[in-house]
Amino acid sequence: MTTPRKPDGRARRLRDAFKLPLRVAVPLVLLVFAGITGLYGLRHYTDIAYHQVEEMSLRGLRVDMDRLQETLEFLLREGNLEQVSHEMTALASDTELLEGYLLDDWGEVVAGTRLDRNGVSLAEMLGSAREADRELRAGVVERALDSLSGIVYVTPDGSRVGGAYPVFWTAAASELRPSRVGVLFIEKDLSAIKAAERGRVENQVLRTSAFLVLLAGGLWLFFDYAVTRRVARLVGATSRLARGDLSARTGVSGRDEIGRVAIAFDRMAEQLQQSRDQLVESEARVLLLLDSAAEAIFGLDADGYCTFCNPACLQALGLEHAGQMLGRKVHDLMHHSHMDGTPHPEDDCRIQQALRTGQPVHVDDEVFWRADGTGFPVEYWSHPIRRRGRAMGSVVTFLDITNRKRADDALRKAKQELEQRVEERTGELTDTNRRLTAEIVERERVELALMQAKEEAETANQAKSEFLSRMSHELRTPMNAILGFAQILESDPSEPLSDNQSESVSEILRAGYHLLELINEVLDLSRIEAGRMDMSFVSMPVGEAVSEALHLVEPLADQFRVSLYDRTGALGEENIWVDPTRMRQVLLNLLSNAVKYNLPEGTVSVYCERRPEGMLRVTVEDTGEGIAESQQRRLFQPFTRLTDDYTRVGGTGIGLTITRRLTELMYGHIGFESSAGVGSRFFVDLLLADAHPMPEGPLQPEAVDGAEPETVTATGTGSVPTGSAPTYNGRRTVLYIEDNQANMELVRRILERRDDLELVAADSAGEGLRAAQARRPDVVLLDIGLPDLDGFEVLRRLRAAQSTQDVPVLAFSGDTLPEDVARGMEAGFFRYLPKPTSIDVLLEAIDEALAVNGPLTRG
Amino acid sequence: MTRDREGEGVTSRHRARGGARLRVAAFALFSGLLFGLSGCHEEEVGALRVGTNVWPGYEPLYLARGLNYLGHRVRLVEYASATQVMRAFRNGAIDAAALTLDESLQLIDHGQNVEVVLVMDQAPAAGSIVTHGKRASVAALKGGRVGVEGTAHEGYLLARALDQAGLSVDDVHIVPLTAEEHERAFIEGRVDAVVTVEPERGRLLELGAVPVWNSAEIPDPMPGLMVVRSEALPRYRHHLKTLLDGWFRAVRYLHEYPDDAAERMQRRLRVPLETMPGLLQTAVYPDRNENLRLLDDTDSPLHRAAGTVAGHMTAYRLMVREGATGVRLNAALLKDMRP
């Protein structure tokens, strides 16, 4: 084998100099090519152009000489030598003409471009010319004479063209064939034409070369952009990759070959990097696994030498560092003897058995030997490492099982003890279990009893509420009669009362209204207690609620000579979440209390202030006598009054209870401060709309709103309208179905005052229905709680009969709960009038019904 | 196993190298072809220029041109006189010429290498000497002015006529005239007689000229020949074949459609149509076989005729070179052509 001779430094440098990068080499080659092409083109095309010039000149010369020859022969035949001379001198007008003369057969100039040369011999003519030219010209003339043919030539340097033509010259008149022969010689200069032609060619070649250079430049730019730069990036990335930088990417894209190669390269690099990352990670995991493994692990090569070991292994073998184990024969190091000290031949070594058989080995009845010479029982697993089907080594995992062996013994003893103790404890547990069962049975019984008690209590509460509600209804019916008749007594113009009587009637009315108020409040309280009070929340400005309540309470304040002050200020514009009706009720209660329990000429003021947790406090402050401490505790108890003076201070004693409940239903709370002799401040804290979402509370039907306490409250003044009632031609019939005779009598008395109305009375539902069929009333007034049929059924039947289906029916009932009113309106009553009601309200309702029903003729 | 693989490697390497060689060879071949083709364009040979003067014996040439038998390879150059034709030939302006035997001999005498490739017209000499009538014979021309194109066929005819009448050229006053000058010089009375050939002869006779001598009086044949410069012959081989082919096709056309041919010829000859049949009778166009016979270099009647004519011409000093008496005949082109 021969070693190739290393090139010496100079040769290598030379060679390296030629190893130019493509981006330099390609344009260089193109430029060189353009240069060579330019030079070659210049030479080649100049030659061609020169050749063409010569050819053209020769051709032109031939034509000229042909003509001149003929002309001269003719003139010579005619003997016109003068004209011959003119023809020749005229040649001088051609600036390219150098020489032009006609020689006779003696070789003398007969005529030429210059007259002064006439008669000069050819030898003299040629004397001044260069040797070469002389020979050329003389030779041409000679050849022309010899061959009698026209001869043209180009000088060897190509600068001139010339010709010599024989000219036949008739010497005598009797000659058929001319006996003399002259020579016409002409020579022309080509240098000017050639120079011009060369300029043209140079121009053309220059342009072509410039185009080629431009093309080369363009190609280079394209090549540089499309190939070399991208290849350079590819090469750079490859080099980086080769140096181990697996993050190297070309960043080159494109669908051409380079682009595809680059993309494939990037993909490959990506995969390499991923693989290496995974490898590194995997290796780190393996190392971590080895280092953190509690088991001792080491590796063997095919010859039984240690290739790796973990800290647990070193510790188990009492070695200080891995160097004491790596590269050493494992069998000799720690597996050389049996437990009893007898040598353990390597051939029997079961660790290396895995190497020989290629099968894993598990052993737990051998010993390993520590560095200090002590042995310990081990359990080990030897797993062969296979590569291409051959065991290249093995991985051995072992445990020091000294403790296990000891523990096995201890365990056996402990087990026996445990079994004994378990038996003892089982007896104890059985007793305890029995006791616990008895206790649980007892507890269940108590819970059941509690639940029953609770249910009973709830039932009792419900029953109480319903009782109260029922009672207030039952009370209203007679109240209707009492108040109605009292109003009639008071206002009957036909039977004026004496002063004492009038005072008595007023007292009856005042007591009746108080009683009615009491009934309403009891009703409200019973609804709250029964959980039947629904709230309809809206966001409204607090000032609005306050001013409305103040307005309502003004008559009372005037009566008690108390001044009212609205001091809500800017806070009055704050919005609060309230049920407007309930809010009004709350404020009215507080304000009316503040007026009623005030001193004459006292004041009542309303304030607002912000409280924590998004609450707004509305405070009603009076200048009354205040509340004694003994009374303060039972202030919110029902039926609590601060005074027994009904004449001066009206009230039922459950107003504050209801107010408190209503406030709580609006997620607020009520409180007060009072000092005897100074006055009291009652306040309610309510939710600010901008600090809280709308509280939950089911919406109530609108009809229910319309049947709130105002309608329940009889507000009649006792005056019976006489002139204001509409009058009609003919009397209109009002059918009143009512089982209570007092109420029937009351309505009869009321209607008697109207000439245009006629009452048809029926004391039961059956009778009422018959009367309706018989009389077809204009309006029906119907009690709901009839003994034979309830009012709703009566209404249904009236509607079912064709004759009465359009007659408006007014309900007149003591059931005044909002849901009762709503139910009635839904069933189709024209109006739902509560008992008791004022005379005015009743008549108004009847008039409205009459206005709606049937064709009426106004009188 | 390993060895097999190595073997395979060697084989594939060989194959790869073989493929590369093949590609290199193909590339070289392609490049060579391109290069060769680029340098291998046909050498440019222009049209064969054939000079003629107006002469009924040559007229089928123009018929062939009119019938597009000659194509672009042959260009006919029409000169006013045979003198101009010969001058152009000498000057290299043309490479072939239609000339009579004596004219051809003159060219040879002037040092031109020519070969006869076609005998176009086999009629005997067809010239006349016409006078104003006062001089009723050739002998009467003694001391008179005779207009003649001395350097052409007419010069030979005059010399023969004078010779027959026992006169010499020195006995008359020669007025050199080219063919186109005959008519005017004769009318203007600048000459007493004119040596003329057809078709001027006919026109002069119409003007009242009196023929005193006719070439029929001399027995020498005077064929019309197509001569080619020897140096140019190889170059224009194909052109000449086209020329000869066109010639024979035109002659054939002349025989087949004499009226149409006469009408075509009449325009060029500027003679009345009715004179055409008579005019054409003055010409005899030998066919290919006759041509082959005439051009047979070993035993051609042309050689004999040339010898006779050359003898006279030398005697009349129309030829001055010694030994320039023979013509070279070339039948090769005719032989190559399809019969």
Nearest to A791 by CA among A833, A839, A749, A759: A833
Q: Can you give the length of chain B in residues?
A: 339
Residues of B with CB under 8 A from a CB of A: 84, 87-88, 90-93, 106, 110-112, 148, 150-151, 155, 158-159, 169-170, 172-174, 176, 316-318, 320
Any alpha helices (H) in A243-360, and if so which ranges?
Answer: 257-292, 311-317, 330-334, 353-357
* CB crowding B61-96: b at 16 or more within 10 Å, else e: bbbbbbbebbeebbebeebebbbbbbbbbbbbbbbb
DSSP symbol at B126:
-
Specify the pLDDT at position B222.
82
The nearest alpha carbon in chain A to B153 belongs to A176
- Mean pLDDT over each residue of chain B, to the nearest integer: 81
Instruction: Please say whether the beta carbons of B269 and B60 come within 8 A.
Output: no
Q: Which of residues 123-152 of A touch B (CB under 8 A)?
A: 146-150
Instruction: Please say whether the beta carbons of A746 and A480 come within 8 A.
Output: yes
Nearest to A713 by CA among A585, A593, A526, A559: A585
| Distances in whole angstroms, Cα of residue B33 to Cα of each of A41, A616, B27, B28, B36 | 22, 110, 10, 8, 5
Specify the pLDDT at position B125.
64
Specify the pLDDT at position B17.
56
Tell the burial category of B151 from Cβ atoms under 10 Å away from its Cβ (0-12, 13-18, 19+). Answer: buried
Instruction: Please say whether the beta carbons of B115 and B146 come within 8 A.
Output: no
Residue to test with chain B: of A48, A76, A169, A176, most B Cβ within 10 A: A176
Three-state secondary structure along A168-219? EECCCCCCCCCCEEEEEEEEEECHHHHHHHHHHHHHHHHHHHHHHHHHHHHH
**Among all chains, which residue has been given the structure tokens 């319309």?**
A706
Q: Which of A317-326, A502-511, B275-284, B292-301 is predicted with the least confidence, judged by mean pLDDT?
A: B275-284
CB distance from A170 to chain B under 8 Å? yes
HSE-CB of A330 using CA atoms within 13 angstroms = 28
Residue to test with chain A: of B105, B106, B151, most A Cβ within 10 A: B151
Nearest to A105 by CA among A158, A172, A159, A179: A179
Torsion angle defined by CA atoms of residues B54, B59, B62 and B66, in that order, rounded to the nearest 10 degrees:
130
pLDDT surpasses 50 at B1? no
- Contact list in A for residue B159 (CB cut-off 8 A) is 176
Contacts of A676 (CB under 8 A, 6+ apart): A625, A626, A627, A628, A629
How many Å lie between the alpha carbon of B163 and the closest alpha carbon of chain A? 14
Q: What ipTM was reported for this prediction?
A: 0.72
Nearest to B321 by CA among B113, B85, B83: B113
The residue type of A535 is: M
Rg (CA), chain B: 29
Q: Which of B97-106, B252-261, B272-281, B306-315 is predicted with the least confidence, judged by mean pLDDT?
A: B272-281
Q: Can you give the length of chain A in residues?
A: 859
How many Å lie between the alpha carbon of A206 and the closest alpha carbon of chain B? 23
Q: Which helix (H) or strand (E) holds A415?
A: helix A402-491
Which comes out higher in pLDDT, residue B50 or A725? Answer: B50
Tell me the C-alpha distance between B129 and B158, whole Å.
8
| Distances in whole angstroms, Cα of residue B61 to Cα of each of A624, A677, B200, B246 | 161, 165, 20, 8
How many Å lie between the alpha carbon of B172 and the closest alpha carbon of chain A? 7
Over residues A278-306, the pLDDT tens digits come to: 988 988 888 888 888 888 999 988 888 99
**Among all chains, which residue has been given the structure tokens 């696994």?**
A289
Contacts of A847 (CB under 8 A, 6+ apart): A725, A726
* Tokens linked to B178: 């080219």
Phi/psi of residue A363, each to 5°?
-135, 140
pLDDT surpasses 60 at B2? no
Instruction: Please say whether the beta carbons of B325 and B316 come within 8 A.
Output: no
CB distance from A168 to chain B under 8 Å? yes
- Contact list in A for residue B88 (CB cut-off 8 A) is 66
The minimal CB distance from B90 to the residues A77, A146, A148 is found for A148
The minimal CB distance from B174 to the residues A146, A147, A173 is found for A173
DSSP state string for A725-738: S--BSSPEEEEEE-
Specify the pLDDT at position B323.
63
DSSP state string for A635-648: TTSTT--S---TTT
CB distance from A55 to chain B under 8 Å? no
How many Å lie between the alpha carbon of A174 and the closest alpha carbon of chain B? 5
Tell me the domains of chain A and their CATH numbers: 46-198 (3.30.450.20), 293-400 (3.30.450.20), 415-494+717-859 (3.40.50.2300), 535-699 (3.30.565.10)
Full strand arrangement of the beta sheet holding B210-214: B173-176, B145-148, B193-197, B127-131, B210-214
Please, what CATH class does the domain formed by B127-217 belong to?
alpha beta
Residue to test with chain B: of A152, A177, A179, A183, most B Cβ within 10 A: A177
The residue type of A342 is: T
Tell me the C-alpha distance between B209 and B199, whole Å.
14
Q: Which of A154-163, A469-478, B26-35, B79-88 is predicted with the least confidence, judged by mean pLDDT?
A: B26-35
User: Facing residues of A735 across strands?
Assistant: A760, A780
Nearest to A166 by CA among A237, A247, A81, A76: A76
The nearest alpha carbon in chain B to A151 belongs to B91
Specify the pLDDT at position A726.
39
Specify the pLDDT at position A224.
78
Q: Which regions of A401-554 does DSSP assign to beta strands (E)?
A: 538-541
CATH numeric code, B48-123+221-336: 3.40.190.10
- Reported confidence tier of residue B144, pLDDT bands at 50, 70, 90: confident
Tell me the C-alpha distance between A456 and B208, whole Å.
178
Specify the pLDDT at position B16.
52
List the helix and strand counts (H, then E) for chain B. 13, 11
Does the beta-carbon distance from B150 to A150 stay under 8 Å?
Answer: no
User: Facing residues of A617 across strands?
Assistant: A609, A685
Q: Tell me the three state secondary structure of residue B4.
A: helix
Specify the pLDDT at position B18.
56
HSE-CB of A5 using CA atoms within 13 angstroms = 4
| Distances in whole angstroms, Cα of residue A20 to Cα of each of A15, A24, A610, B149 | 10, 6, 90, 82
**Among all chains, which residue has been given the structure tokens 């035949």?**
A77
Does the beta-carbon distance from B316 to A168 stay under 8 Å?
Answer: no
Instruction: Please say whether the beta carbons of A99 and A186 come within 8 A.
Output: yes
Does the beta-carbon distance from A69 to B87 stay under 8 Å?
Answer: yes
Q: Which helix (H) or strand (E) holds A479?
A: helix A402-491
Q: How many CB pairs (< 8 A) connect A and B? A: 63
Most distant CA pair in chain B: distance in Å?
126
**Among all chains, which residue has been given the structure tokens 């041509």?**
B291
User: Facing residues of B210 across strands?
Assistant: B131
**Mean pLDDT per 10-residue run, chain A (859 residues)?**
54 71 73 82 87 89 88 84 86 84 86 83 80 86 85 88 88 75 89 88 84 80 81 88 87 86 90 90 87 87 89 89 90 88 88 84 89 89 86 88 85 88 84 87 90 85 69 76 84 79 84 79 75 81 91 89 90 90 89 88 92 91 85 74 54 78 89 85 92 68 34 33 41 88 86 86 89 88 85 90 88 79 86 84 88 53
Tell me the C-alpha distance between B212 and B191, whole Å.
15
User: Facing residues of A397 across strands?
Assistant: A297, A381
Distance of CA A97 to the CA centre of its chain: 97
The nearest alpha carbon in chain B to A75 belongs to B176
Which comes out higher in pLDDT, residue B30 or A158? Answer: A158
Instruction: Please say whether the beta carbons of A351 and A362 come within 8 A.
Output: no
Which comes out higher in pLDDT, residue A613 or B5? Answer: A613
Distance of CA B79 to the CA centre of its chain: 12
The minimal CB distance from B174 to the residues A149, A168, A174 is found for A174
The nearest alpha carbon in chain B to A77 belongs to B176
Q: How many CB atoms lie within 10 A of CB B281?
A: 10
Residue ranges of domains in chain B:
48-123+221-336, 127-217
User: Facing residues of A733 across strands?
Assistant: A758
How many Å lie between the alpha carbon of B291 and the closest alpha carbon of chain A? 30
**Among all chains, which residue has been given the structure tokens 């023929």?**
B211
Does residue B48 come out as left (phi exceeding 0), alpha (psi in the -120 to 50 range) or beta?
A: beta
Hey, do B48-123+221-336 and B127-217 end up sharing a CATH topology, with the first three levels equal?
yes
Phi/psi of residue A400, each to 5°?
-80, 115
The nearest alpha carbon in chain A to B86 belongs to A149
Over residues B175-213, the pLDDT tens digits come to: 888 777 888 888 888 888 888 887 788 888 888 888 888
- Contact list in B for residue A65 (CB cut-off 8 A) is 91
* Tokens linked to A235: 């090469």
DSSP symbol at A329:
B
Q: Which helix (H) or strand (E) holds A526?
A: helix A499-529
Phi/psi of residue A689, each to 5°?
-65, -35
